[in-house]
Amino acid sequence: NADQGRVPAPTMMASEEVALLPRKYSPRSRVSAVALALAAVAAVAIGTVAVSYGPTVLGAGLAMRGVTSRMGVNTNVGITRDVAVNSRQRKWEIREHSREPIKMGMMGTKAGMTMYYDDAGICHPVTVIALEEGNYVTQVKSKETDGYEAIQVAYKECRDRTIPWPERQHLRKHGQVKAMKHLREFKPSDISGYEPGQQLKAEELFSVGDLVDVSGTSVGKGFQGSVKRWNMARGPMTHGSKSHRQHGSIGCSATPSRVYKGLKMAGNMGNERRTIKKLPVMLVNDEDKYIVVRGSVPGKRGSLVEIRPTKLVGVHV
């Protein structure tokens, strides 16, 4: 018998057989383990370098930035900043070097409104602003003497006894200017070209096509109701209604048991300072002393108005 003389192999349980079987080869698990090990080594190396050389590099960078700033070198050249734009934010790029200078203004007297026909035959509603005697520079204010830069201008000649004595002496001191009824200040970008006693010329300040802002005092209309003053709707005129042009409700009863501040009600209308912006200049004439602008300006005939070049956002400011 062939099996005689052999030692029988030991018998094994099922659990032991399963334990001795070779594990299935998994390339993904082995690669993940290697990647984690490399990441740990890299983190340790970076931390060691940062601890050893970080303060030195940071100190050298700060020192270099301080040296360049003291030398007047701009360290932010070439750096652009993206501005997030949404529905509540206007989009423009702030560039101080590209701003246009703010020009000088002057005063005038509203003469009235009329019609003007251009070369194409189109009729424009225009306002004629007369330039009476005046528009003299009476003082040049600087940051060294007054804390800000401005040009003081006198307008509309009058008798000496109609203005206070200190004002008369002020006009005589600065340029020997005659008695003037109105004094106003204008703030151009450059005040170097103005001297006391100098008279401003409209053709030197404005040209046809320029946009100007005209300020003045609006026409006073006295005590007016809420319908005319605030353009409120009137009540029913028939069917027994007794609230034709009355104000209506002015608040709640129990809560808050009071009238809110600033509620629009009847009162004095007009006689307030107003500014009409972006009016185009149609005509300018120094010989006949007038400026013609398109549109209406505040005030009645003979009232004082101030003419300033329009300041556009992104162009001048």
Separation of alpha carbons 19 and 12, rounded Å: 11
303 burial via Cβ count (<10 Å: 0-12, 13-18, 19+): middle
Cβ distance 310 to 213 under 8 Å? yes
Please give the radius of gyration of the chain, using alpha carbons only, rounded to the nearest integer: 41
**Whole-angstrom Cα distance, residue 214 to residue 171?**
26
Strand partners, 109: 130, 304
The CB density around residue 76, as the number of other CB atoms within 10 Å, is 7
Provide the whole-model pTM.
0.66
Question: What are all long-range contacts of 86-90, with beta carbons under 8 Å and residues at least 24 apart?
Answer: 90/313
The answer to whether the bond into 256 is cis (omega within 30° of 0) is yes
CA atoms of 142 and 190, how far apart (whole Å): 11
pLDDT value of residue 99: 73
Q: What is the pLDDT of residue 265?
A: 96
Per-state percent for the chain, helix, strand, coil, to nearest 5:
25, 25, 50
Beta strands in 47-203 (DSSP E): 106-117, 123-130, 134-141, 150-157, 180-186
CA angle 247, 253, 255 (to 5 degrees): 120
The pLDDT value given to residue 84: 55
At 203 the pLDDT is: 93
| pLDDT digits 0-9 by tens, 251-290 | 988 888 899 999 999 999 999 999 999 999 999 999 999 9
Domains by residue range for the chain, with CATH: 99-131+202-228+270-316 (2.40.30.10), 133-200 (3.30.160.810)
- In 3D, which of 27, 100, 121 has the Cα closest to residue 312? 100
Q: Give the containing element (helix H, strand E) for 168.
A: helix 165-173
Q: What is the pLDDT of residue 163?
A: 93
Phi/psi of residue 285, nearest 5 degrees: -145, 115
What pLDDT does 21 receive? 45
Strand order in the sheet with 150-157: 134-141, 150-157, 180-186
The answer to whether the CB of 166 falls within 8 A of the CB of 189 is no
- The closest of 89, 303, 122 to 214, measured between CA atoms, is 303
Residues of the chain with pLDDT under 50: 1-3, 14-22, 24-27, 57-58, 60, 62-64, 67-73, 75, 77-81, 88, 91-94
